[in-house]
Structure 1
Amino acid sequence: MTLPIERVRAEFPALALTDHGSARTYLDNPAGTQVPRRVADAVAKCLLETNANLGGHFATTLAAGRVVEEAHQAMADFLGARSAREIVIGPNMTTLTFHLSRAIARDWQPGDEIIVTRMDHEGNVSPWLAIAEDKGLKVKFLPFDKESWQIEVRDLETLLSERTRLVALNYASNLTGSINDVKTLTALAHKAGALVYVDAVQFAPHRLVDVQALGCDFLACSAYKFFGPHMGIVWGREEILERLQAYKCRCSDNDLPQRFETGTPQIELLAGLTATVDYFDWLGGEVGATGSRRQRIAAAYQASVDHEEPLANRLIAGLLEIDGIRIAGITNANRANHRVPTVSFRHDRVAPVTIARALAAANIFVWDGHNYAYELVQHLGIPVDEGVLRIGMAHYNTATEVDQVLAAIKGAIGTRT
């Protein structure tokens, strides 16, 4: 299935914007992607036509209720959930994880254990460190292999014990791009009697998530990383959510998922969230898929993978030709299916911030720093105050943009050597 790149790019108004006559090159996608016009239109339409709180009897409140229901069902289809009751939506993944960690760990006892990885974003580390401190729990850090750039089964096996209550896993690194074998790791954790909470924030923009196939208990992602509005989503297995005590207002709804969604929802953003899933549905149709919404979403992802992998390989090959650059992550093109198109590197003489500023001056958007992969940079011995230069592609990027950033990096380094 060939991605219709020109039709895709036409869906994103931001891609046509210029600054002082210079086109923008968006390679900052791991921090947040651009949105299709339909997403912005849906947000505006909701604000103008269905702007009301929930629970009333008049037209706009009833319409707002439908917006909320449709968004939860859309995300259920998007993630492969059994029902919309398993979808908890909130302001962002980190806030939801802090919130849910309190309910998940409510009955744990001092000495019980949590395992977190040295690959993850702080959003799936700090909430567990905080609840561990509050309740006297023991935290174990699961390393990643510096050769494979993945979390290995043998390393998890050595940390699991009869006191392990939860394993917080990373699906794809926001710095190295590495994809972990979450299904196998989850099965191992379950064998030890532990729950599994998966951070899929960086995986969801690039690959199809199937929570049923993974077998995990919770999975978190962020809509603004997969072309949607600023929202976080956590899927939780219904039978587990049912038995958790929610921290909520006394008079709030006790049904699922409402009891974990405190306060008035961001209804206009929920309208945008449904439109985001509709975009994937549309793209699946554009590449020739039929069938259910889920099937068309799957086809959209496959076409995206087929487009993104050559871009990542092109970028990596170009970077490896530049003297002094060391990439943090998988560089073998034969292992492209083990990574998302996020590439981070350091130069042995020029600081990441210097290169990032030079690229910004050329209207090429990238990030420098630790990117909240705090444990990861320390595990690699990288100065936390410097971090890396991170380039992250999405399916709307092109080979021409890859060549532009490579030329700009050479210029930034060449003028300072």
Structure 2
Amino acid sequence: MSLDIPALRDAFPSLRSGIAHFDGPGGTQTPAVVGDAIARVLTAPLSNRGVGILSEQNAEDAVLAFRHAYADLLDASPDGIVYGRSATQLAYDFSRHLAKAWGPGDEVVVTQLDHDANVRPWIQAAERAGATVRWLELDPATAELRLDALDDVVTERTRLVAVTAASNLLGTKPPVARIARRAHEAGALVYVDGVHFAAHQRVSLRALGADFFVCSPYKFFGPHCAVLAADPALLDTLTPDKLLPSTNEVPERFEFGTLPYEVMAGATAAVDFTASLGDGATRAERLTDAFERYDAHELALRRRVEEGLAALGDRVVVHSVAADRTPTLFFTLPRHDPQEASRFLAERLVHAPADTFYAYEPFRALGVAADAGVRVGLAPYNTESEVDRLLAALAHFLS
């Protein structure tokens, strides 16, 4: 079955503005049910977690619901779900936790495909520990990682491989399971940035082979926060710096200070919203079905965008050419300023930003000057008519 797009769009009050949002990779719009969930928890009786009174129980329930929702979303254990303020914050936290065991002679692998949040924290932690950083390089012609060098880059000295499940700039989905197998053969851990991936494809922590998987609910209709999933047994081997009276239980030992219960409730509601669009006996089954519907709809729109960009000839250079990719397209305009193009589109209520999008290493590998490209990222609420508006406006700008 397909998505009921008019019904889906009706759930998003912001879409009534008339803006065609192609900025999904930077953060999606939010359905009313998510805002309602935040307000309901925030304005109900609410205290620090406990079971002695209703206000304490409400906080406890919000935390447990959050852990179970993201366990279903990520095919993980509820006891391995860690709340974070952002994916960047989680990467910095876990780089410090893990680097306690690193030293001279150890190696850390990062890639030229990743958002800088999954690069710089590891480089900086490695430098402090005296470890060496090695790179999986990006082939700009294919927008793929050069995995012919994988066996040489990942060695018995490797302690961690940090890799994206999908590039927020190019949409490229590298073969994470293959990379993880090689890392595990070498005795290394695998930290996967799934922020862009989790918005478009059903996640399985186990199938990917990720030891740590991070996503951000605001990329798929939720509030601004992040989630890390891992095996609780693995988390139990890590000893973060923490306050003396704070709990040492997993996963709470990695969550510093009082949790934002209302934000967690909104993040749970985002998962439930997606599940409501699919069929199945369980929430996990409904999520799988919903993501299949997302994929079919977004793929059709992506092809429509690609055909429209191809019709513009050499006035547009599309860099998102990987064989397996999300519905995200990054392109440059050889004879025009992309910032001007983005402003031109915005004046016509089409939001397609031009920026580096914190994809510092991919920009360097592509040989693209800073801010010299436009990104079009599709979300399930986008429509064919919005795509046509985008293409018509872009053609007008380039004429």
- TM > 0.5: yes
Is 2:304 aligned against 1:314? yes
Q: CA deviation at 1:206?
A: 0.6
List per-residue Cα deviations over 1:242-280 (Å, max 9, x = no partner). 111122111111111100011111110001011111111
- Equivalent residue, structure 2, for 1:114: 108
- Are 1:52 and 1:60, in contact at CA under 8 Å, matched by a contact in 2? yes
Give the alignment of 1:30-109 within 5 angstroms. 30-55=25-50, 57-81=52-76, 83-109=77-103
Is 2:286 aligned against 1:296? yes
CA distance in 1: counterparts of 2:149 and 2:331, whole angstroms: 25
Q: CA deviation at 1:56?
A: 6.5
- Of 370, 381, 385, the match for 1:400: 385
CA distance in 2: counterparts of 1:309 and 1:200, whole angstroms: 19
- Of 378, 387, 393, the match for 2:372: 387
- Equivalent residue, structure 2, for 1:189: 183
- Are 2:41 and 2:58, in contact at CA under 8 Å, matched by a contact in 1? no
CA distance in 2: counterparts of 1:215 and 1:340, whole angstroms: 20
- Are 2:116 and 2:358, in contact at CA under 8 Å, matched by a contact in 1? yes
- Equivalent residue, structure 2, for 1:215: 209
Cα distance change, pair 80–50 in 1 and its aligned pair in 2 (3 A): farther
Q: CA deviation at 1:368?
A: 0.8
Q: CA deviation at 1:105?
A: 1.6
Give the alignment of 1:108-187 within 5 angstroms. 108-187=102-181
Give the alignment of 1:351-366 within 5 angstroms. 351-366=337-352
- Are 2:50 and 2:56, in contact at CA under 8 Å, matched by a contact in 1? yes
Is 2:396 aligned against 1:411? yes
Q: Which 5+ residue runs of structure 1 have no aligned equivalent?
A: 18-22
- Of 214, 227, 231, the match for 1:233: 227
- Are 2:22 and 2:352, in contact at CA under 8 Å, matched by a contact in 1? yes
Give the alignment of 1:330-369 within 5 angstroms. 330=321, 335=323, 338-369=324-355
Q: Please state whether the residue corresponding to 1:174 is helix, strand or coil.
A: coil
Relative to the length of structure 2, the TM-score reads 0.97
- Of 19, 22, 41, the match for 1:27: 22
Is 2:324 aligned against 1:329? no
Give the alignment of 1:260-299 within 5 angstroms. 260-284=254-278, 289-299=279-289
- Equivalent residue, structure 1, for 2:243: 249
List per-residue Cα deviations over 1:176-217 (Å, max 9, x = no partner). 111111111110111111110001100111100000111210
% same residue: 39
CA distance in 2: counterparts of 1:52 and 1:188, whole angstroms: 46
Q: Please state whether the residue corresponding to 1:368 is helix, strand or coil.
A: coil
- Are 2:50 and 2:59, in contact at CA under 8 Å, matched by a contact in 1? no
In the alignment, residue 309 of structure 1 is paired with which amino acid? L
- Equivalent residue, structure 2, for 1:378: 364
Q: CA deviation at 1:152?
A: 4.2
- Are 1:80 and 1:212, in contact at CA under 8 Å, matched by a contact in 2? yes
Q: Which moved more, 1:55-64 or 1:393-402?
A: 55-64
In the alignment, residue 328 of structure 1 is paired with which amino acid? H
In the alignment, residue 185 of structure 2 is paired with which amino acid? K
Q: Please state whether the residue corresponding to 1:67 is helix, strand or coil.
A: helix
- Equivalent residue, structure 2, for 1:20: none
Q: Please state whether the residue corresponding to 1:283 is helix, strand or coil.
A: coil
Q: CA deviation at 1:58?
A: 2.1
List per-residue Cα deviations over 1:368-398 (Å, max 9, x = no partner). 11110000010011112x2311110101100
Q: CA deviation at 1:50?
A: 3.6
In the alignment, residue 340 of structure 2 is paired with which amino acid? T
CA distance in 1: counterparts of 2:308 and 2:23, whole angstroms: 18
CA distance in 1: counterparts of 2:253 and 2:45, whole angstroms: 23
In the alignment, residue 327 of structure 2 is paired with which amino acid? P
CA distance in 2: counterparts of 1:65 and 1:179, whole angstroms: 37
Q: Please state whether the residue corresponding to 1:369 is helix, strand or coil.
A: coil
Q: Which 5+ residue runs of structure 2 have no aligned equivalent?
A: none
List per-residue Cα deviations over 1:71-97 (Å, max 9, x = no partner). 01110011000x211111111110011
Relative to the length of structure 1, the TM-score reads 0.93
Is 2:188 aligned against 1:203? no
Is 2:9 aligned against 1:14? no
CA distance in 2: counterparts of 1:260 and 1:290, whole angstroms: 33
List per-residue Cα deviations over 1:217-248 (Å, max 9, x = no partner). 00111010011010111111222101111221
In the alignment, residue 317 of structure 1 is paired with which amino acid? E
CA distance in 1: counterparts of 2:238 and 2:395, whole angstroms: 54
